[in-house]
Amino acid sequence: MSKKENLSDNLKKLSETAQWFENREDVDVEEGLKKVKEAVEVIKESKKRLKEIENEFEKVKKELDEEEQE
């Protein structure tokens, strides 16, 4: 997964994983574990990206506040 993976793409991947589980009558435990591990990585990357985005917003807000004070 690339570092700057799009959050929309990550949400799509998580949705596909959830659908995989929902569409199974008999879940292959090994495949299910693999899907859960993949989902955990997507969630971790998404949380990291959200934090980066939050930091970018804070930076822009700070710059705006500084301009208003001038």
Would you say residue 11 lies in a domain? yes
Predicted pLDDT of residue 4 = 56
Would you say residue 1 lies in a domain? no
**Could you tell me the CA-to-CA distances from 36 to 16, 17, 33, 55, 60 in Å, in that order?**
12, 8, 5, 29, 36
Record the tokens describing residue 65, joined without a space: 């506040």
Q: What is the CA radius of gyration of the chain?
A: 18
* Interatomic CA distance for residues 7 and 31, integer angstroms: 24
Above 70 in pLDDT, residue 17? Answer: yes
Would you say residue 12 lies in a domain? yes
Query: How many domains, in total, are found in the chain?
Result: 1
Record the tokens describing residue 34, joined without a space: 């693999």
Predicted pLDDT of residue 8 = 93
What integer best gives the mean pLDDT of the chain?
91
Would you say residue 13 lies in a domain? yes
- Domain extent, residue 54, equals 7-69
pTM over 0.85: no
